[in-house]
Amino acid sequence: MNDGATIRAVVNTFVFALASVVTHIGIGMLLALGVHRTMTRGTKYFVRTAYFFPFLVSWAAVALIWKYVLDPAFGLANYYLSSTTNWLASPTWALPTLIVVDWWHTIGYTFIILLAGLQTVPAQLHEAARVDGANAWWRFWSVTLPVMSPTIFFATVITFIGAFQIFDPMVIMTQGGPDGATRSIVQYTYEKGFQSFEVGYAAALSLVLFVVIMIVTGLQFRLSRRWVHQ
């Protein structure tokens, strides 16, 4: 199992998964903080629903909608950006574009998890820190993040596992192209098993997928001892 297509599929999947974790945790936390601290109760309900709604839509529908939005000839993206870029056919932009689409579709789930974690932070801890003279940034760093660390850890693990098994947008939007730039390991396994009928090779790729997820998740659990507060 040393062909270039396999290696590239694994690299693509790692890049996609790592970018997904960073964007989901980072932007998801900003959204959760904004909703938790600055909005009224009624507005919070509306915004929570709006952010979470795309997650309820099937990947097939999301992929088809975004194929239309990103169409180089009449898509809304190029219209508002005044661009002629063929996002899904560009070796440079295809994978980042799919990362953005995945973020739009699944950020609501991470947002809800992090928002729930924020609501578990005791208000008296913030009040005590404020009395001691801590500013907003220091309260976030020394109070909010430690209390939320189990929630952040859970969101990180779930996001990585989900992203590493990505399949639908690659198949529907780019078919793994251009020239394998967006092919994921799950898509490559599907192609080998159900298109080329190389069942043994596909089984080996499935084992690789399982081992990689197990190793990375194990490392996450081990490293969590250093920063997750119980």
Per-residue pLDDT tens digits for 21-78: 999 999 999 999 888 877 667 787 888 888 899 999 999 999 999 999 999 988 999 9
Of the candidates 44, 53, 54, 16, the residue with the CA atom closest to the CA atom of residue 116: 44
* Cα angle 177, 182, 184; round to 5: 120
Per-residue pLDDT tens digits for 211-229: 999 999 999 999 998 888 8
Of the candidates 96, 100, 98, 115, the residue with the CA atom closest to the CA atom of residue 50: 115
Contacts (Cβ under 8 Å, ≥6 apart) of 2: none
**Cis peptide bond prior to 146, omega within 30° of 0:** no
Contacts (Cβ under 8 Å, ≥6 apart) of 191: 176
Provide mean pLDDT across the span 85-92: 92
Per-residue pLDDT tens digits for 139-185: 888 888 999 999 999 999 999 999 999 999 999 999 999 999 999 99
